[in-house]
A = this chain, B = another copy of it.
Amino acid sequence: MQIVVLAGGVGGSRFTAGVRRAYPDATITVVGNTADDITIHGLRVCPDLDTLMYTLGGGGDAERGWGRLDESWRAIEELRAYGAEPTWFGLGDRDLGTHLVRTELLAAGVPLSEVTARLCARWWAHDPGLRLLPMTDDPVETYVDIPDADAPGGRRSVHFQEYWVRLHAGPEALALRQVGIEAARPAPGVLEAVAAADLVLVGPSNPVVSIGPILAVPGVREALRSAPAPVLGFSGILHGAPVLGMAHRLLPTIGVAVDAAAVGRHYGSRRADGVLDTWVVDTADAGSAPALEADGLPTLVRDLVMSSPDATAVFVRSTVDQVLA
């Protein structure tokens, strides 16, 4: 079986680990978000790709949710001692190894998809059926407009990572821009994987800054809409709150309520102009299913709490079984 998973970082990694648990013999192509990438101190950092790579490779810090297991922070302490801002972005010593290799290869002209494959070769050697593709090889970065009484127009723009990591998504996000997204081309293999898939899964990642950018890469939405395989989407909003992360701070910015049903409608049904065949919501949101069904979006209800890869595997397999039945 060929499975494609669209995924962000922390939630996407947990979800993909569950998919692998559910389908140990499948070929799984993970299309990872790169719109929250950042160049920091000259290093190209791809937070979502790294979280996926480390988590599925057994090298991630499961408790923290990102970065390396058994990490240390000596290099960044030095940056702080030099007064070299910013130091709010967590660059661990082991993690730095990844960023150095990636940055050097990118500078040598190796495309991000090839760089990612080389990095994953170390981590995923035990699982050759698992493949990670960046959504695009072209640089995309997300900027967030936040209120600033001192700035012209009363607002200023910060990199998404600054908004997320330094500001903890505190200020209201007045607007979001994915710079570079219009010109981005799907990375080699992305459209082909979707076209060849037996199953396409839209992970319970942030709809605004993770899944949104993947779908916004020109050609990806169309590929999903014309995919021969069923497309299942999983809600990351449970009972009006994100299961992980801070999606509630950004959904209002794009005019979507912090609500499983609203996100399902935002993705939309393939029968209309959306990308989903089936939307999966948590049992806490079961009440929204009839209305979604009535609106033409087939909706399944499951316990979506990803408490373990096994728990995730249960809801993945159960929904897929029902859809393929």
Q: Which residues of A contact B (CB under 8 A)?
A: 41-43, 72, 74-79, 81-84, 93-94, 96-98, 100-101, 103-104, 107, 118-119, 122
Q: How far is the CA of A101 from the CA of B103 in the complex (A)?
A: 15
- Using CB atoms, name the residue of chain B closest to A104: B42
Residues of B within 8 A of A43 (CB): 100
Question: A122–B77 Cα gap in the complex (Å)?
Answer: 13
Specify which chain B residues have a CB less than 8 angstroms from the CB of A77 in the assembled complex: 94, 97
Per the bound structure, the CA–CA distance linking A76 and B101 in Å amounts to: 10
Residues of B within 8 A of A118 (CB): 82
B122, A97: Cβ atoms closer than 8 Å: no
With CB as the reference atom, state the residue of chain B lying closest to A79: B97
Residues of B within 8 A of A119 (CB): 82
Contacts of A93 in B (CB 8 A): 72, 74-75, 93, 96
A41, B104: Cβ atoms under 8 Å? Answer: yes
Question: A41 and B100: CB pair below 8 A?
Answer: yes
With A72-B72, A74-B94, A94-B74 in contact, is A104–B122 under 8 Å at CB?
no
Contact A75 B104 (CB under 8 A): no
The 10 closest A-B pairs by CB, nearest first: A78-B97, A74-B93, A75-B96, A93-B93, A42-B104, A84-B101, A75-B97, A41-B100, A82-B101, A75-B93
